[in-house]
Structure 1
């Protein structure tokens, strides 16, 4: 039985279809569970590991750098190893990284484990999407796309909930225990269904070590500058700018050399890909979405915790529930899109949802209710991600689907850009939050003065509430309470600024999608 199943072909046998679909789902589940959980758990992880945000930024920069380089080499490795052994090797490396993190109890071990996870897991998303093309053109391929989309949305919604429950009821190490369980399941399914035959030598793509080194150095410098600049931008702006410039120069050298020395089998078919106007437009849409998602994933927990005072576990549970809308969005999109494939209405609806999200969140107050105001807003954001990215994915790769290599390279490049977009969104959100919080804090702090009758009245009322202690201690406690609320309101006002900007971005996106025709 095992011997018969292991005799793979390039196109899976009908008896393997369920295992193929399970592999696609599990790869997406692993990818978005680990990115979602580690991103949402950043603040408590810093506390558990005893590191500053600046130190923790090194792990995210190193992971993203490894991810970019690993994704760029995905097709090159598959051609030499075959799909089965490439996925199994990736899962094994990812499992080792999870194991290191699980047994790690300090920052150095966590950093090593996280980077090892990046070597193994960075290409799960692109790999899952290209595996779908192993199905022959048929309704089965559409089922594969649905499985891919549901894996993405289910794992995105599940990640914050699992993090909140695990930190509350168990330990942070169990994040990686869950990932190890799903890694083993993915290895079992992929071992019995993926083709194991490598590509013929004369058809394999080529890779130059200097170009890979340039991409590695450039990716790390850019991503580290973005992450490091999130915390040191104002105090070390020159250093951050120099690091960013060096990184961009290195990436420019990689792109220019790849295009200039273009041959029949390049590492990435950048020249061929960007000759497609539809692909260029689609990548721009994806980059915009990932920029927004990166900034929102960072800011939303900060605003709900520090601005509105919700507990971290409460934020995780309700955030997960709100993102269930993305699962519903996939179901609606899959029902409507095949019958009405014109992309304009889906893009316009997506930006309407983003506008609703920005409008609702820009009207937050200290007494805002999680169930009646914030939860519906998060649901709108879930619809935005599905309808914009789902439609862009359906349109952007249309001209490349006939060429498996070009399609694989297109997916790789899109996911490399997504890593940069997410990092850039997080960095800009962090810098913006510091900037706007400082401005609002200074403005509010001006009213905390002895000559302000409103402040004196509030101080007197709060001090009376602490009447069980002596007057001097009561005044100190009242002042501390006011200072805490000044800081809390400053964060909330900074969040309102961000969501007002997001509302404007949604309007601009809606107008652009109304008049564009390339992605329709």
Structure 2
């Protein structure tokens, strides 16, 4: 007796191929996630390898997001013209090239240019993979695809910290980018073999126009504005002339691109199709989640290594263990998707859990905190992926027709890239500023009597003074991390309160 096909549009696909297609699409998405997370997790090693100051290294984070914005802007048009399957294949090749260029970089300028290439390749992979899954299936056929999708994307994300640490310690920082390039090789073969092919050629109207000048203006404008906002420090009284000019130019380029979008009869990103209140509200909370998540993901390695003195290997291990909990939460949600009711309350619970996790980390910000104390809040934060991000993402597209889904997902991933870069960059700069303020304050409190109390039997040798300086640096890092954890907790509590009054998320 013949079995009912899992995909009505592709009845020749057996069960194994459908699940493997979902797994491949998830791994393709994970490539972008891993590239964004590894640059933060292994930031100290990469930054030291190219001899970059923190302000210079910030460009390597920002330029990837700006290039990803351009990729997401044009992927709808390019994917429609050459098929989204070919778009993914081409993007994997570009990403691999960018990763190899990153591995061969000898200074920060070369790294920034290489990251731009990597962002053009990797930035659109999540959206393209998700769009393909949407186009080839009906709503009631997507569970098998989403099982593999979640398993692939979040497994790679969970493994990224541990893999980064092992590679950096064993082979050096360049190996982090080499393994990113290596991952694309089997993925390219899997996409070539498992992704469905398009059955019908697009019409001329569907292909539309590309509008490269406006797309590039949007990307460069986003780059300048993102970097300007990330580099703004609370302790700074004013901006320099160059920074002010960069912000003005960035705003002007964005204004030009948005004007083009508004005036063009068929733009590559049609905002006029995206007026659903449910979508816009969900997009706001989706972006907020990635903003605070980007900050958390940058802050945790700094807290564990610079504050508590954990080595890189231990840091990678505990971050990956926490990521596995997030993977389990996402898979549990996937299998019980239809049983999740009152989603607005689930999102409120998610922000509350994030706030509790940040508050517990703030309490743990003291010398000698053990892994046993740190793991519970880290696992709680990892669960917010299912409680917040997946919940919001699964609700925002209910009001759209299939032809509008591409536009909705393009904007969603543009906001994700921008929010992640903003969260990472702002946390980096604020941590640097707060740490410097705390260190100056601590140094100013130490006198000859304090030195006698801290080390009464030791001579004032350079080794003793270096050890004391290290202790001051660690304490300053803990103080700065404590302030940022409290800030994250406050943002999450405020977000939970706002969600309660958003009926669009019901």
Structure 2 Cα separation of the partners of residues 234 and 11 of structure 1: 61
Q: 1:517–1:227: structure 2 CA closer, same or farther, 3 Å change rule?
A: closer
Pair 1:371-2:371 in alignment: yes
Task: Out of 321-330 and 250-259, give the one that drifted further.
Answer: 250-259
Q: 1:237–1:295: structure 2 CA closer, same or farther, 3 Å change rule?
A: farther
Q: Residue 518 of structure 1 aligns with which residue?
A: 504
Structure 2 Cα separation of the partners of residues 181 and 210 of structure 1: 33
Q: Deviations over 1:22-59 (max 9, x none)?
A: 33122023222222222211210111222222332232
Q: CA deviation at 1:236?
A: 4.9
Q: CA deviation at 1:396?
A: 0.9
SS of the aligned residue for 1:362 comes to helix
Report matched runs for 1:295-444 at 5 Å.
295-400=295-400, 402-403=401-402, 405-444=403-442
- What RMSD in Å do the two structures reach over aligned CA positions? 2.5
Q: Deviations over 1:265-301 (max 9, x none)?
A: 321111221x111111011101111110121122221
Pair 1:195-2:197 in alignment: yes
Larger Rg: 1
Alignment TM-score, normalising by the size of structure 2: 0.90
Task: Out of 9-18 and 246-255, give the one that drifted further.
Answer: 9-18
Pair 1:503-2:503 in alignment: no
Q: Deviations over 1:39-80 (max 9, x none)?
A: 211210111222222332232232222111111000110111
SS of the aligned residue for 1:355 comes to helix
Q: Is the 8 A contact 1:25 1:150 kept in 2?
A: yes
Pair 1:211-2:214 in alignment: yes
Report matched runs for 1:57-456 at 5 Å.
57-137=58-138, 139-192=140-193, 193-196=195-198, 198-229=201-232, 236-259=239-262, 261-263=263-265, 265-273=266-274, 275-400=275-400, 402-403=401-402, 405-450=403-448, 453=449, 455-456=450-451
SS of the aligned residue for 2:93 comes to helix
Q: Residue 453 of structure 2 aligns with which residue?
A: 458
Q: Residue 6 of structure 1 aligns with which residue?
A: none
Q: CA deviation at 1:124?
A: 0.7
Q: Residue 489 of structure 1 aligns with which residue?
A: 475
Corresponding residue pairs, total: 495
Q: CA deviation at 1:104?
A: 4.5
Q: 1:78–1:198: structure 2 CA closer, same or farther, 3 Å change rule?
A: farther
Q: 1:415–1:212: structure 2 CA closer, same or farther, 3 Å change rule?
A: same
Q: Is the 8 A contact 2:62 2:227 kept in 1?
A: yes
Structure 2 Cα separation of the partners of residues 119 and 513 of structure 1: 34
Structure 1 Cα separation of the partners of residues 9 and 244 of structure 2: 48
SS of the aligned residue for 1:398 comes to coil
Structure 2 Cα separation of the partners of residues 208 and 52 of structure 1: 36
Q: Residue 3 of structure 2 aligns with which residue?
A: none
Q: Deviations over 1:319-361 (max 9, x none)?
A: 1111211112112322443113321221022012102211111
Q: 1:138–1:487: structure 2 CA closer, same or farther, 3 Å change rule?
A: closer
SS of the aligned residue for 2:316 comes to helix
Structure 1 Cα separation of the partners of residues 113 and 432 of structure 2: 29
Structure 1 Cα separation of the partners of residues 235 and 249 of structure 2: 18
Q: CA deviation at 1:238?
A: 4.7
Q: Is the 8 A contact 1:326 1:379 kept in 2?
A: yes
Task: Out of 412-421 and 202-211, give the one that drifted further.
Answer: 202-211
Q: 1:238–1:361: structure 2 CA closer, same or farther, 3 Å change rule?
A: farther
Q: Is the 8 A contact 2:19 2:144 kept in 1?
A: no
Q: Residue 31 of structure 1 aligns with which residue?
A: 32
Q: 1:104–1:477: structure 2 CA closer, same or farther, 3 Å change rule?
A: closer
Q: CA deviation at 1:105?
A: 4.7
Q: CA deviation at 1:422?
A: 1.4
Q: 1:364–1:239: structure 2 CA closer, same or farther, 3 Å change rule?
A: farther
Q: CA deviation at 1:370?
A: 3.4
- Structure 2 gaps, min length 5: 1-7
SS of the aligned residue for 2:114 comes to helix
Alignment TM-score, normalising by the size of structure 1: 0.88
Q: CA deviation at 1:224?
A: 3.0
Q: CA deviation at 1:179?
A: 2.5
Q: CA deviation at 1:89?
A: 1.4
Q: Is the 8 A contact 2:81 2:202 kept in 1?
A: yes
Q: CA deviation at 1:247?
A: 1.2
Q: Is the 8 A contact 2:21 2:148 kept in 1?
A: no
- Structure 1 gaps, min length 5: 1-8
SS of the aligned residue for 2:208 comes to coil
Q: Is the 8 A contact 1:287 1:417 kept in 2?
A: yes
Q: Is the 8 A contact 2:308 2:369 kept in 1?
A: no
Structure 2 Cα separation of the partners of residues 12 and 249 of structure 1: 50
Structure 2 Cα separation of the partners of residues 337 and 128 of structure 1: 20
